[in-house]
Amino acid sequence: MTQPNAPARKPADADTPPAQADARAWSVLLVSTLAFLVCFVVWMMFGVIGVELRDELKLSSTEFGLLTATPVLTGAVMRLPLGTWTDRFGGRIVMTILLVVCAVPVYIVSYASQLWQFLTIGLFLGCVGASFAVGTPYVARFFPPKQRGFAMGFFGAGTVGAAVNLFVTPELEKLYGWRFVPRVYAVALLVTAVIFWLGSARDPGAGKANGSWLDAFKVLGDSRVWRLCQYYSITFGGFTALSLWIPQYLKAEYGMSIVMASAFAAGFSLPGSVLRAVGGVLADKFGAHSVTWWGLWVAWICLFILSYPATDFVIHTIDGTETLHISMPLAGFVALTFVLGGVLAFGMASTFKYVADDFPTNMGVVTGVVGLAGGLGGFLLPILFGVLLDLLKIRSSCFMLLYGVVWVSLIVIYITEVKRAPILGDKQTREAGVLVR
C-alpha cells in the first residue's frame, strides 16, 4: 500500500511493483492492447475466409474445422516459450519481433491454392495468437497488484479482434476477393509493430528470472497451475472455437449470407471481448473464484438451451395426433450467445487474476502454460465440432460438447475450492467459501 510519507518511486526496473500506475503504464497498456487486437484479427482470419474456401476446396466439416483450427494450434504451443522469453528479454522486444516476423506468412496466404498449403502456412501465421502470453505479464508488471485484474482484463479485451474480423474481413472479401485480405493484414502487422515500439517502454521485469531455464518450469509442479488450465481451456478455448465456428453455423442453420452471418456472429464475439475488462474489475473486487464459479454456471445454462436441436414431437391424443415443433429462433440464439460471450469473458479475466495473485514472480511461465491450455482448447474444439457434425448430423452438437466441458470445470471448482473452503483455514479461502454459498 502507498504510505503518506513514502519515498520517491523506485526506478522502472525495481523489483517491487509500482504503488500506482503512471502515464507510461497507461501508454504500455494501450499500445499492447492494440497489438493484441490486430494479432487476434489475423488469428481469426480463417474463420471467415475459410467459409468461401470450404466451397472452393469442397471441404468436409472435419476438414473445415481443421482449416480454421490450425493457426490456433501454433498460437497455443508458442505461448509457453514466448511467455518464458518475455520473462527473460522483456515484452517490448518479444512483441515487436513477433509482429514483424508473422507478417511474412500472413502475406504468403494470398498465394495458397490447396488445403495442405493453407494448413502449412497456417501453422506459421498462427504464432500471432501467442501474443497474449507476451502482453499479459508485460502489462501486469507496470501496475500495482490491486489494479492488475483490470489491466490484464483491459489487455485481454483485445480479443475484440474476433469481432473486428467478423465485420472487416467479409467486407474486404466481398469487395476485393479473399486473397486481398491476408495482404492487408500483413501490412497492418508491420504498421502495428511501429506503433507498439514507439508507445511501449522497457519491461521492468526483463531479466529478473532467477536460475536456469529449467528452474523457471518448476512451477508446473503446482497443481493450481493445471486447475487454471482447465478453467481457461473452456473460457478462452470455447470463446475462440465458437468465434471461428458460429459464422458457418448461422449460414447453414439460418440460410444467411457470409456477410450477414459474420455480423450476427459478432453478437457473441463483441461482448466476449469488451466485457473482459469488466471481468477484471469484478475479479479485483469479488475475487477470481467467485467470478469464475458463477460465470460458468451461467454458461452451463446457456449451453444447455443452445444444445437442444430443432425437434418435432408427435403427441397422440384422444382426437388423433398433434405435432409440436421446437426450434431456436434467431433472436433467441443471438441473445443467448451474447450472454455466453460475456460470461466467458469474465472467466478469461478471472483466470488471470488467479495467475497474478498466486504466481506473481512466475507470471510469464504460468501465463504461457495456461494460455497454451486455452489455445489447445481453441484448436481441438473446432475439429471436434466438425467430427461431431459429420457423425451425428446435428448442428447444435457443438454446444452439446461445450456443455459437457463446462460440467467438468464446475466439478473441478467444487472439489478443489468450494468443498475444501470450510476445511482450509486461510482467510482468502474462507471468504471464497462464503461467496459461493
Q: What's the confidence (pLDDT) of residue 207?
A: 64
Q: Tell me how many helices (H) and strands (E) the chain has.
A: 20, 2
Q: Which three-class secondary structure state does DSSP give residue 204?
A: coil
Q: What's the confidence (pLDDT) of residue 214?
A: 62
Q: What's the confidence (pLDDT) of residue 20?
A: 64
> Does the CA dihedral 359-375-261-255 come out positive or negative?
negative
Q: What's the confidence (pLDDT) of residue 35?
A: 95
Q: Catalogue all structural domains in the chain, each as residue range(s) with its CATH number.
A: 23-201+222-435 (1.20.1250.20)
The dihedral over CA atoms of 266, 262, 401, 403, expressed in degrees to the nearest 10, equals 20
Q: Are 21 and 142 in contact (CB under 8 A)?
A: yes
Q: Split the chain (437 residues) into runs of 10 and give each run's mean pLDDT.
A: 43 50 86 93 86 85 85 83 83 93 93 90 88 86 81 82 84 88 94 95 72 63 82 87 86 85 80 76 84 92 92 85 87 91 87 78 75 83 89 92 91 80 45 40
Q: What's the confidence (pLDDT) of residue 402?
A: 93
CA distance 350 to 263: 28
Q: Looking at residue 63, what DSSP letter applies?
A: H
Which amino acid belongs to residue 254? Answer: Y
CA distance 426 to 433: 11
Q: What's the confidence (pLDDT) of residue 70?
A: 86
Q: What's the confidence (pLDDT) of residue 99?
A: 95
DSSP output for 364-421? HHHHHHHHHHHHHHHHHHHHHHHHHHHHH--TTHHHHHHHHHHHHHHHHHIIIIITTT
Q: What's the confidence (pLDDT) of residue 12?
A: 41
